[in-house]
Amino acid sequence: MGNIQLEARVREATGKGAVKKMRREGVIPGVLYGPKRKETVSLSFNYDDLKGLLVGGEHNNVLLDVNIKDKESAEGSKVQAVFKEVQRNHVSGEVLHLDLYEIVKGQKMHVHVPIHISGKPEGVVAGGIVQYEVRELEVECLPRDIPTSFEVDITPLNIGDALHVRDVSVGEGVKVLTDSDATVISVVPPAKEEVVEKTAEEVEEELAESFEKKEETEEVKEGES
């Protein structure tokens, strides 16, 4: 998959009022930063250019060729970047702000890659319950080696089985930083209601205690009257 082309403009307007006006006009504010930049660059993006790219989680760790235009340069400057954060409205899902991280060629990056689970465990068919623990892995790799996701088939898992970080296949050029012993997913037995069996003597004692408490309560009431 090739790099995604993205147009951006240097943004001069700041503040809540200016940002709200931009969103009403279909423009999304954002910033660009990275290890070789001393200052963060304020940018704006056309929402129509982002609609297809930001559906679901398909934007995770994709490489971007960003063409940045400003008033001083008609042609603009080009940088490579990835989405560092996409801020959305919690209710409507509307994109509110973008954070882009500029890539330095030949320099490894730390990124979080989601784990995609597929299959129905054999243990679930037998009545077990799936417990999810780790849903993404932190990895170190060159930008060109960034995976979009890690695919894991959990069909073979039986009750009592677990899949750990060390069991996830990540491919060449990718170093996993997440604890290798951490559990990604496990299949546990179904919860059972605890049944307490009481002997006849225990039942008789409980009834006697209940009766004694009742008599004490009645005596107190008679003394008060």
What pLDDT shows up at residue 207? 67
Count CA atoms within 13 Å of residue 107 on its CB side: 12
Each residue of 34-87: pLDDT tens digit? 988 888 999 999 988 887 777 655 566 788 899 998 876 556 788 999 988 888
Q: Cα Rg for the chain, rounded, in angstroms?
A: 30
So what CATH class is 110-188? Answer: mainly beta
Each residue of 10-21: pLDDT tens digit? 987 777 788 888
Tokens encoding 193: 């209601």
Residue type, position 215, single letter = E
Each residue of 72-121: pLDDT tens digit? 655 678 899 998 888 888 888 888 889 999 998 889 999 999 999 999 99
What whole-number distance in Å separates Cα of residue 175 and Cα of residue 41?
A: 30
Measured from the Cβ of residue 119, the count of other Cβ atoms closer than 10 Å reads 12
- All CATH 2.40.240.10 domain ranges in the chain, comma separated: 4-105
What whole-number distance in Å separates Cα of residue 144 and Cα of residue 161?
A: 35
What is 54-95 written as a DSSP string? Answer: TSTTTTTT--EEEEEE-SS-SS-EEEEEEEEEEEE-TTT--E
> By the 8 A CB rule, do 122 and 161 touch?
no
Task: Tell me yes or no: is domain 4-105 CATH 3.40.190.10.
Answer: no
Question: What are the CA-CA distances from residue 214 to residues 156, 208, 209, 219, 223 (Å)?
Answer: 59, 10, 9, 9, 15
Strands (E) across the chain are located at 4-10, 27-33, 41-46, 64-69, 77-88, 95-102, 109-118, 129-132, 136-141, 150-153, 162-164, 175-176, 183-188
What pLDDT shows up at residue 191? 77
Find the range with the poorest average confidence among 23-27, 64-68, 177-181, 183-187: 23-27
Stated pTM of the model: 0.68
Question: What are the CA-CA distances from residue 222 to residues 18, 154, 208, 210, 218 (Å)?
Answer: 78, 69, 21, 19, 6
Each residue of 135-144: pLDDT tens digit? 999 999 998 8
**Residue 225, pLDDT above cutoff 70:** no
- All CATH 2.170.120.20 domain ranges in the chain, comma separated: 110-188
As a whole-number percent, the residues of the chain with pLDDT over 70 amount to 80
Tokens 């279909």 label which residue?
A: 26
